[in-house]
Structure 1
Amino acid sequence: MNENSGSDAESSDAELSDAELGRMARRLAGVGGIVGVCLGGSRARGAHAPGSDYDLGLYYRAGELDTAALRSLAAELCGRPVDVTEPGGWGPWVDGGAWLDLGPVRVDWIYRDVARVRDHAAEARAGRYLFGQQPGHPYGVPSYAYPGELALGRVLADASGELAALRAEVLEFPPELARRLEADAAWEVPFTLANARKGARRGDAGYVQGCLFRAVGLLAHALHARAGRWLVNEKGAIAAAGRLACAPRDFSIRAQRLFAPGSTDPAALGAVLDAAEELAGEVLAGAEA
């Protein structure tokens, strides 16, 4: 395609072909400090909708990334200057990158420190993890999202083979991490819902909804862990959990309904928590079976 105009993308119904993606990935992989490039997000999983962004993970070595070269390439592709951040420019967990508007298609470049990915993968194998606060991620970013993204992605450019080798190490969901996530959900979900009861009695719908969001997120992560599947963020997490064979019947519908009442009436909030506790009980009972 003519990368400056995006005209070929227009003729392909606002989609990039594998060849077009490959050309961009190879050019990115030629930038100093980049180890390899991986397609991520819904595009990599085949779960995208028409017009979905293309998420390209730029796996780099800390202290070596040539952001000036990235700015030059982004300007060439878009036909105008593009804001390309330094590492860390988007916060401590998302890291940084750039949003490219190529006319009918949008491509996100997202930095990933390859050493950090490797470290978080080792922690996950040992059953250890943590959550980081990050704008745009109300549930928080789990440290195991880093290896999970690579496991769920598709390597597009990797001259040395290092990125593919690392991906091979993280394809299997770590059994120790699965045990830890289920164990944490087993105590934290009931604890969270019990605290929500206090807010419900005061008609504090905001606090109740916050507790519900946390509890449902824990259940979604626990179900994915039980199924041996990576879950890397909260977008679509409820629907994805509902599709798992280990999920209770109608999990997705029941979980989504917990957020629907829009009432500050204590009795109504209490009824929502009754439904939440029933759903949680079914999920957590599965861990004991």
Structure 2
Amino acid sequence: MDRWNAMAQELARVEGVVGVCLGGSRARGAHHPGSDVDLGLYYRAPLDTAALRRLAAELTGAEVEVTEPGGWGPWVDGGAWLTVDGQAVDWIYRDLDRVRRLWEQCAAGRFEIGVQPGHPLGVYSHAYLGELAMGRVLADPQGEVLALQEQVHVYPEALRRALLDARWEAGFIVAGARKGAARGDAFFVAGCLFRAVGVLVHTLHAHERRWVVNEKGAVASADRLPSAPPDFALRAHALFATVGTSPDELTAALDAADELVAEVCARVEA
């Protein structure tokens, strides 16, 4: 951990960087030796990306592509992928003022879902808050990041209610997929199933006041929640393993999805 603390201190000296937070599996203590080191660079424009490029070159001994803010899309933002002494290290930008605005919106029960390359479910705006809540602040000279982290540690009841209210979409999209099933449109049906399961994952996490930050591992995470139906992950994954291409196969998958939707909704009624 000392080496990442040292790197965080160097990053915090770059103009525009307000604080640095360790995220991902390493922050949660769920990593393995090959896990990436995810460092969130909480910044306020203008960000001195030239200084970041120089630091990246010093750390890796080679030129590294360091993006401008927004270089990786509207929600992932930007950053760099480094290899330092054989270890993969990701620098990921987070606009601190934007994170604060999203906190205010989510605390008031409003969230949005943004289109983002690499995230087929889209990015739910409260993912930024979950990253910070589950992260470990390594550098924060002015205390701004820690102050915001203290706020987001409490899951907003208004956000929970909004996500639970949004669970209607799961059943709605499965119903809409039946028109595609009748035509043997496996592409459309599979997309609808993916979206439906994604909604259920967010529903279950919200019910338990737990943050979920992206699609990776989200079904398995939902499966471990007390309110999850028995064998939730097994049944969710089975939808995609057996979706088929014929109208009968597609309809059977949608029937199974309807059962799963009904069980989840019944368990989160309270």
TM-score of the superposed pair, with normalisation by structure 1: 0.92
Alpha-carbon distance in structure 2 between the residues aligned to 1:128 and 1:262 = 34
Query: Matched residues in 1 for 2:143 and 2:244: separation?
Result: 55
> How far apart, CA to CA, are the structure 2 residues paired with 1:283 and 1:226?
10
1:63-119 C-alpha deviation (Å, 9 max, x unpaired): 2x1111100000000001111111111111111100001242100000000000000
Unpaired segments ≥5 residues, structure 2 = none
Residue correspondence of structure 1 range 77-116 to structure 2 within 5 A: 77-116=59-98
Deviation, 1:47, is 2.2
The 5 Å alignment of 1:1-289 reads: 18-63=1-46, 65-185=47-167, 187-289=168-270
Question: For 1:258, what is the secondary structure of its paired residue?
Answer: helix
Give the drift of 1:161: 1.1
Deviations 1:196-251 (A, max 9, x none): 11111111111111000000000000000000001111111100000001111111
Q: 1:76 to 1:41 in 2, by over 3 A?
A: same
CA RMSD of aligned residues (A): 0.9
Residue 261 of structure 1, CA deviation:
1.4
Instruction: Output one character per residue of 1:5-35: Cα deviation in whole Å (capped at 9) or x when no partner.
Output: xxxxxxxxxxxxx111100010001111111
Q: How many residues are matched?
A: 270
What's the CA shift string for 1:144-199, capped at 9, x where partnerless? 111111001110111111111110010111111111111111x2111100011111
Flag structure 1 segments of 5+ consecutive residues without an equivalent: 1-17
1:253 corresponds to which letter in structure 2?
A: L
Provide the secondary structure at the position in 2 that maps to 1:127. coil
* Counterparts of 1:140 and 1:286, CA distance in 2: 25
Aligned identity (percent) is 63
